[in-house]
Chain A
Amino acid sequence: MQTTVKSKALDTFKEATKTILNPVLKRWIDGGGKVMGYFCSYGPEEVITAAGMVPMRVRATGSTSTELADAYLSSINCSFCRHAFNAGLSGDYDFLEGVVWLNNCDHVRRIYDNWRRKVHTPLPVMMSLPKMTTDTQVEWFKDEIVNFKGALEKHLGVKITDDQLREAIKVHNETRRLLRQLYDLRKKENPPITGAESLAVVVASTCMPRAEYNGMLKELLEELKGAEGIKDYKVRLMLLGSILDDPNYVKVIEDMGGLVVTDSLCFGTRIFWTDVDEKTKDPIDALAKYYIQDKPACPRMFDQQPNRSKFVQDMVKEFKVDGVIGLRMVMCDLWTGELFMMDKDLKAAKIPLIRLEREYAVVGAGQLRTRVQAFIESIGGRR
């Protein structure tokens, strides 16, 4: 199952998911550009762009072991963190000027503690992310963004102006709008692009100079508009979970006949479904409100469970989804609880859900095929 379109842009995006330092980013660095890593979809990437750097979501693509990280972490820490820290210790991220963490989960926040001691990234920064989403938390996070901006200014010896922030917001909002256009195409009865390919497109957005990326995404959208849609699928699926950056995982699902048409992932809709308000006078106000109140929330946000559930159910309707695959990284407490609650909600709404556990760097294709095949068969009669 794949798109019928021959696209240079799509090939570039796919290439970007196969390595940490992709060719487009390497060209940027070779030209004297700087890159700042971030560990979570709550990282305010617009501030990094405004500082003249490329924001890059940290992954551990290509990692095959955690032997260096295992000296510091333990087997009850999630495999994404172990692989990502291992990549840091291995020197794979030596090209980064800085990394910003948030206390988004217990595993990731401890990578900050270990990283700043063991990996010599020039600027390691931590931001305190609230667990509630009232106006009080927006104010708190605004101060966090101000402090982050200050740290960048001090380190880089630059002044980040409001105009630069506004421009960065525009560029990032354009990415969001373009990605939503891509997802609109997936609502069709015969979408022109697969879930695996779409994931590659989203992942690429987090590791390239943003304006250049937007240009390529526009090209791809044009190419897809006239494309023949995918017909050889049995059911339409939605993915729900945390970090999934490997299109091969989605390909295994799609090879079984389940076309992935949408998601609620942190390399997915949760980073582009809403925009930062460009009309707000103070751009930092706009960013704080976006990250705390406007973007689709992650399970760590204590007061947002009903909205998260509604988001998933709305997606199911909008994209004519037959079944939802809930993905949980082994050892992730947040997604254990989230899927427990979502299971109840989706049962009540008569939406089929299967809960799968996964490890970061291992697709586990055999087991995945068996589970997905059974799930597709159980819901296949709907189409």
Chain B
Amino acid sequence: MSRVPKQPEKAIKLYKDDIAYMQMLQDMLAADTSEEGAINRAVIQAVMDRSNEVLQCIEKDEPFIASWYPYSAEFLTAMDVTWWMFAQTAFLGIESPHVADDVDGGERLLGSDFCTVLRLLLYYVEADMSPKPSALVALLHPCDGTVIAHQAIKHGNWADVPIFGADPPYWDNERAINYYANEMKKLVKFVSEITGKKLDIDRLREVCEESNKIYALWQEYNELRRAIPCPHDWTLGPPQAFAMATYYNVGKPGGEEWFKKLIANAERRVKEKVQPIAGGERIRVLWFDILPLLWQFDIQPWMESEWGVNIVMNMFGYTPYTPIDTKNEETMFHDMAKRSLNDFPMVRQARGVADHFLTDIEKIVKDYSIDCVIWPGHMGHKDGSANVGMMREKCREIGVPFLYIGLDLFDKRYTSPDEVKDILSRFFSQHGLGKR
């Protein structure tokens, strides 16, 4: 019996097209011979490698799993299981011609006020545009959208795909962590049944130790970003670090090597006081959410050139970077659960009490010499947008301007780039920021 479901032809074609698109980007970037260019190309290569791994699994009839970053994937690395974040399919379509049509397709299924990336996810499954995994690990936090989108996915074209969802508690105390550690053990059992692969605790220890090194390096890199000017502009930093540490290189030596190169580059630039932005870094921004991934080229170069904005930190670059205690199986599961519930970006802030929003803003503003905080107000982030008043008051208390925009990080038609630019310009002007 096949361990991989029959694949929709359309999905495989689309997936190969996406990989080809990434290769095209890679080829274009090859002209950039700088250190920074090489570091960025390594990330794109990691994206392609993971996608190719999925394709290889399909070709070789090897099981592969659809999962999400907030599941502390150290155990999957230790089990040598191929997994991919199937939301990646949506992200891979960056600026490609078919994404707007896909967003519209998703809207026909779930309406226009449901998170666009989750709509895309369901659309790709319903329209047979995503590879079909051997099993689906559903994410039941941090938002209502994920809970119901996974039910809809299971209800539709992936009805025959085995599914597991770990139940996330609301709290972040020891009782909650232990509860979730138990859920993660059930998850390991599920993955083991699907793949036939066992979790070896000594191997898990090795992976966790490697993961700890990567997290320590991630923290070291972020400490370098405190420098004024920040060593890198928007094209390199938090998004890549997040992707390499939590997804593409979880507990793998390749991650450590990549971070060391990133740090070496950042250190050199700090020592040499290299200006990351032509004209100088004039506004140090905390962009407290995901970056506008499907239209960042419409907005970020403009922020940089027009206002001297450098997004020194965003929500996805920031985590407590706490290591996993590798003493024994219990400590490892405990700390993977803790990382899953309390540390991973977005889950950390959005899952439970609102306090992490406020404490993180306060700490990042202080540590990174932030000039202003921008809450983009992604239309899918309903819980976060119910914190706007609290965030505004916190920013007022610590003396830093706060802006709430209201946009769709994945669809520029919701609030157009021109409108966003106008809002940003008025905000910067009103607060006397970015003056030359």
Interface residues of A (CB under 8 A from B): 71-78, 81, 103, 105-107, 109-111, 113-114, 117, 126-132, 136-137, 140, 143, 299-300, 302-303, 305, 330-334, 336-338, 340-341, 344
Among B175-232, those with CB < 8 Å from A are 175-176, 179, 182-183
Task: Check if B171 sits within 8 Å of A131, measured CB to CB.
Answer: no
Closest to A77 in B: B386
Given contacts A75-B406, A106-B386, contact A333 B171 (CB under 8 A): no
Question: Chain A contacts of B165 at CB under 8 A?
Answer: 131-132, 302-303
Given contacts A77-B382, A302-B147, A305-B151, contact A72 B179 (CB under 8 A): no
Binds A, one of B96-104, B108-116, B251-259: B108-116
Instruction: With both chains docked as a complex, state the minimum distance between the C-beta of B193 and any C-beta of chain A, in angstroms.
Output: 17
Instruction: With both chains docked as a complex, state the minimum distance between the C-beta of A44 and any C-beta of chain B, in angstroms.
Output: 15
9 nearest CB pairs, A to B: A72-B389, A337-B148, A110-B386, A128-B170, A113-B354, A106-B383, A74-B385, A333-B144, A132-B167
Instruction: With both chains docked as a complex, state the minimum distance between the C-beta of B314 and any C-beta of chain A, in angstroms.
Output: 20
Cα A110 to Cα B155 in complex, Å, equals: 29
- Residue in B382, B383, B385 with the greatest tally of chain A CB atoms within 10 Å: B382
Contact of A336 among B110, B170, B182, B388 (CB under 8 A): B110
Contact of B143 among A106, A128, A332, A341 (CB under 8 A): A106
Cα A117 to Cα B354 in complex, Å, equals: 11
Cα A303 to Cα B171 in complex, Å, equals: 21
Cα A285 to Cα B211 in complex, Å, equals: 41
Closest to A74 in B: B385
Task: Check if A131 sits within 8 Å of B382, measured CB to CB.
Answer: no
Among B254-279, those with CB < 8 Å from A are none
Task: Check if A128 sits within 8 Å of B171, measured CB to CB.
Answer: yes
Task: Check if A131 sits within 8 Å of B113, measured CB to CB.
Answer: no
Cα A333 to Cα B170 in complex, Å, equals: 18
Annotate B148-170 by CB proximity to A: 1 below 8 A, 0 otherwise: 11111011100000000101111
Contact of B152 among A137, A303, A337 (CB under 8 A): A337
Residue B145, interface by CB 8 Å? yes
Task: Check if A110 sits within 8 Å of B354, measured CB to CB.
Answer: yes
Cα A331 to Cα B114 in complex, Å, equals: 7
Given contacts A128-B171, A333-B115, A337-B151, contact A74 B404 (CB under 8 A): yes
Question: Chain B contacts of A106 at CB under 8 A?
Answer: 143-144, 382-383, 386
15 additional contacts (CB under 8 A) given A103-B170, A303-B165, A331-B113:
A72-B386, A73-B389, A77-B386, A103-B352, A110-B387, A117-B390, A127-B170, A130-B169, A131-B140, A131-B147, A137-B167, A299-B151, A330-B113, A333-B143, A337-B152
Task: Check if B387 sits within 8 Å of A113, measured CB to CB.
Answer: yes
Residue B353, interface by CB 8 Å? yes
Residue B238, interface by CB 8 Å? no
Task: Check if A109 sits within 8 Å of B383, measured CB to CB.
Answer: yes
Cα A105 to Cα B147 in complex, Å, equals: 10
Task: Check if B170 sits within 8 Å of A341, measured CB to CB.
Answer: no
Task: Check if A336 sits within 8 Å of B353, measured CB to CB.
Answer: no
Instruction: With both chains docked as a complex, state the minimum distance between the C-beta of B381 and any C-beta of chain A, in angstroms.
Output: 8
Task: Check if B388 sits within 8 Å of A73, measured CB to CB.
Answer: yes
Residue B377, interface by CB 8 Å? yes
Question: Chain B contacts of A337 at CB under 8 A?
Answer: 110, 114, 145, 148-149, 151-152
Instruction: With both chains docked as a complex, state the minimum distance between the C-beta of B408 and any C-beta of chain A, in angstroms.
Output: 10
Q: List 27 A-B contacts (CB under 8 A).
A: A72-B388, A73-B385, A73-B388, A74-B385, A75-B406, A76-B113, A77-B386, A110-B386, A111-B386, A113-B354, A126-B353, A127-B170, A128-B169, A129-B170, A131-B167, A132-B165, A136-B182, A140-B169, A140-B179, A305-B151, A330-B113, A333-B115, A333-B145, A334-B144, A336-B111, A336-B148, A337-B145
Given contacts A331-B113, A341-B151, contact A114 B169 (CB under 8 A): no
Contact of B382 among A136, A300, A333 (CB under 8 A): A333
Among B369-426, those with CB < 8 Å from A are 377, 379-380, 382-383, 385-390, 404, 406
Instruction: With both chains docked as a complex, state the minimum distance between the C-beta of B407 and any C-beta of chain A, in angstroms.
Output: 11
Instruction: With both chains docked as a complex, state the minimum distance between the C-beta of B167 and any C-beta of chain A, in angstroms.
Output: 4
Instruction: With both chains docked as a complex, state the minimum distance between the C-beta of B149 and any C-beta of chain A, in angstroms.
Output: 6
Cα A16 to Cα B385 in complex, Å, equals: 33
Residue B361, interface by CB 8 Å? no
